């Protein structure tokens, strides 16, 4: 790969002799030649600019000078790219960089003043064997194209074969998979009271990978909405989609379009909507043999607005909701038990004392299979964690409901035993599952 950098300040490129770039130059893997644009001038003052046609502030770089320089420097053989930095260009991304890394020669034409006469780019677009790429390195204005040229050289060079000592570090980086990279930590383990996240100390690589992926998605969701918007939700795993719901992004089951979701603590104003969601979803979790009448009785007695208002007023009950376009579409109820108290018929011997009881996780059917249930489940556990009195999260789910058990197992729950649970006078058997907090 050969770079030719044309500028009125070629000495700018001295920095490319440093570090890995310098080594690659020395080894011959990379050729970088800086050129002084003024070498192609013919007047005494070595003039490269003139006033703009049509008036306006500043000076414009002359097409005739650039034309002579580029005719000499461009060596059309193989794939040749004329890269022109400009704030009005295409925003440079890793995607472009990957493509440019396959070029044979990249010539960077560094503008100054108000930039280069447009006819230069227009002319070389018509020259066979030359690709013109006008690019911007960000939405701000620099004095000249030199810094943008260095950015391009460095981003491209590090993808070239043999450039990096450890090529693996390339594959884990920001933007390689359209997400930004997870945060990194090294020694000391505690610095100014700040600890390295526990999961990274444990040596469980599956857990570490899952944690890193979640952090990547979290950061991408929070700061790079453009990258999420570019990603088709249908190409993401359930786990990825679960994480994204927690940070505001959801898509319907078969849809490629993202929508906004907000998972938050419930307030007293939510009681009526939560009761509606509860009444709509409770029957789906009931075994087939619980008659509709018994379901109704249960809903009226235990899932009424009054009952839900009591949860919302109780310091031991924590309710989370997920809201899409102002409508509640899912809710969770966590009850914090104290030592000696046991939730809804769970036998004391199968669980640890003072459980954090995951009493309810319900999602409207239209939003099942979107990652929302997993997202709100994790949000509910995280919300309750600082207030938990014991070491375990506990839940019960109908013996018949294998799908729910698979879902909870995926979220780290294990079967601990059974309990008997009454719905409108009908005896049900539940599997009790637990997860360490
Ligand atoms: N009048 C130009 C405009 O507003 O688009 C700005 C010209 S700027 C002062 C001078 C040179 O700096 C440009 O020709 C370009 O080479 C370089 N430059 C400035 N900002 C840049 C950016 N964000 N990305 C790439 N190149 C930039």
Return d(Cα 144, Cα 166) in angstroms, integer.
33
Task: Give which of 6, 178, 174 is closest to 85, Cα–Cα.
Answer: 6
Percent of the chain's residues with pLDDT above 90? 84
Between the alpha carbon of residue 119 and those of residues 95, 123, 146, the distances in Å are 27, 6, 21
CA-135 nearest atom, ligand 1:
25
Is a pLDDT exceeding 90 seen at residue 154?
yes
CA-141 nearest atom, ligand 1:
20
Sheet order of strands, 80-91 included:
31-36, 2-7, 105-109, 80-91, 130-136
Q: Answer whether 145 contacts ligand 1 (Cβ < 6 A).
A: yes
Q: What is the mean pLDDT of the chain?
A: 93
Higher pLDDT pick, 356 / 350: 356
Task: Give which of 101, 132, 99, 105 is closest to 118, Cα–Cα.
Answer: 132
172 pLDDT band, cuts 50/70/90, is low
213 pLDDT band, cuts 50/70/90, is very high
pLDDT at 167: 64
Tens digits of residue pLDDT in 274-317: 999 999 999 988 878 888 998 999 999 999 999 999 999 999 99
Tens digits of residue pLDDT in 90-115: 999 999 999 999 999 999 999 999 99
Q: Answer whether 110 contacts ligand 1 (Cβ < 6 A).
A: yes
Is a pLDDT exceeding 90 seen at residue 409?
yes
Is a pLDDT exceeding 80 seen at residue 424?
no
Return d(Cα 412, Cα 404) in angstroms, integer.
13
pLDDT at 111: 98
- Beta partners for residue 259, in sequence order: 250
Return d(Cα 5, Cα 31) in angstroms, integer.
11
Residues sharing a CB contact under 8 Å with residue 381, sequence separation 6 or more, in sequence order: 334, 356, 358, 393, 435, 437
Q: Answer whether 415 contacts ligand 1 (Cβ < 6 A).
A: no
Q: Answer whether 83 contacts ligand 1 (Cβ < 6 A).
A: no
Q: Let me know how long the chain is.
A: 437
Q: Which of 63, 82, 142, 152 has most ligand 1 atoms within 8 Å of CB, for mutation?
A: 142
Which phi and psi (to 5°) does residue 202 adopt?
-80, -20
Tell me how far the alpha carbon of residue 145 lies from the centroid of ligand 1, in angstroms.
6
Is a pLDDT exceeding 70 seen at residue 173?
no
Q: Which of 115, 136, 137, 152 has most ligand 1 atoms within 8 Å of CB, for mutation?
A: 115
Q: Which of 6, 12, 86, 138 has most ligand 1 atoms within 8 Å of CB, for mutation?
A: 86
Is a pLDDT exceeding 90 seen at residue 340?
no
Q: Answer whether 228 contacts ligand 1 (Cβ < 6 A).
A: no
Q: Answer whether 5 contacts ligand 1 (Cβ < 6 A).
A: no
Tell me how far the alpha carbon of residue 6 lies from the centroid of ligand 1, in angstroms.
15
First and final C-alpha spacing in the chain: 53
Nearest CA owner, ligand 1 atom 12: 144
pLDDT at 26: 85
pLDDT at 188: 94
Residues sharing a CB contact under 8 Å with residue 68, sequence separation 6 or more, in sequence order: 40
CA-115 nearest atom, ligand 1:
14
Return d(Cα 209, Cα 205) in angstroms, integer.
6
Return d(Cα 56, Cα 49) in angstroms, integer.
14
Can you give the pTM of this predicted structure?
A: 0.85
Rounded mean pLDDT, 53-64: 96
Tens digits of residue pLDDT in 180-193: 999 999 999 999 99
Q: Answer whether 137 contacts ligand 1 (Cβ < 6 A).
A: yes
Q: Answer whether 190 contacts ligand 1 (Cβ < 6 A).
A: no
């Amino acid at each position: 790969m050969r770079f030719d950098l044309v500028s009125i300040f070629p000495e700018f490129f001295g920095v490319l002799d440093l570090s890995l770039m310098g080594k690659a130059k020395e080894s011959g893997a990379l050729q970088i030649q800086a050129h002084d644009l003024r070498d192609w001038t013919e007047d005494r003052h070595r003039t490269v600019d003139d006033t703009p046609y049509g008036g306006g502030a500043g000076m414009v770089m002359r097409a005739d000078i650039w034309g002579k320089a580029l005719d000499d420097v461009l060596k059309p053989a193989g794939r040749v790219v004329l890269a022109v930095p400009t704030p009005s260009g295409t925003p440079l991304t890793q995607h472009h960089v990957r493509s440019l890394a396959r070029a044979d020669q990249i010539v960077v034409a560094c503008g100054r003043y108000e930039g280069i006469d447009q006819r230069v780019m227009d002319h070389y677009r018509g020259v066979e064997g030359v690709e013109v790429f006008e690019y911007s390195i960000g939405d701000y204005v620099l004095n000249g194209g030199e810094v943008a040229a260095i950015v391009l050289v460095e981003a491209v060079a590090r993808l070239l074969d043999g450039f990096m000592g450890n090529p693996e570090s390339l594959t884990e980086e920001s933007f390689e998979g359209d997400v930004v990279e997870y945060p990194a930590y090294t020694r000391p383990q505690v610095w100014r009271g700040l600890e390295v996240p526990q999961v990274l100390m444990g040596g469980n690589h599956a857990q570490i990978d899952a944690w890193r992926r979640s952090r990547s998605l979290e950061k991408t969701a929070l700061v790079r909405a453009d990258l999420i918007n570019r990603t088709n939700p249908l190409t993401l795993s359930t786990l990825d989609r679960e994480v994204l719901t927690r940070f505001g992004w959801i898509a319907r089951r078969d849809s490629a379009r993202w929508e906004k979701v907000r998972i938050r603590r419930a307030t007293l104003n939510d009681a009526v909507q939560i009761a509606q969601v509860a009444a709509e979803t409770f029957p789906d979790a009931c075994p087939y043999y619980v008659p509709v009448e018994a379901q109704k009785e249960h809903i009226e007695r235990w899932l009424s607005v009054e009952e839900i208002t009591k949860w919302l007023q109780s310091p031991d009950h924590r309710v989370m909701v997920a809201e899409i376009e102002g409508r509640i579409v899912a809710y969770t109820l966590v009850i914090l038990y104290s030592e000696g108290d046991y939730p809804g018929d769970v036998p004391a011997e199968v669980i640890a004392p003072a459980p954090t009881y995951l009493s309810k996780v319900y999602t409207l059917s239209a939003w099942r299979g979107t990652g929302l249930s997993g997202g709100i489940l994790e949000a509910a556990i995280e919300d309750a964690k600082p207030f938990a009195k014991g070491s375990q999260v506990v839940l019960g789910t109908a013996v018949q409901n294998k799908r729910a058990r698979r879902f909870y197992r995926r979220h780290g729950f294990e079967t601990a035993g059974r309990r008997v649970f009454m719905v409108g006078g009908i005896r049900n058997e539940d599997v009790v599952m637990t997860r360490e907090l």
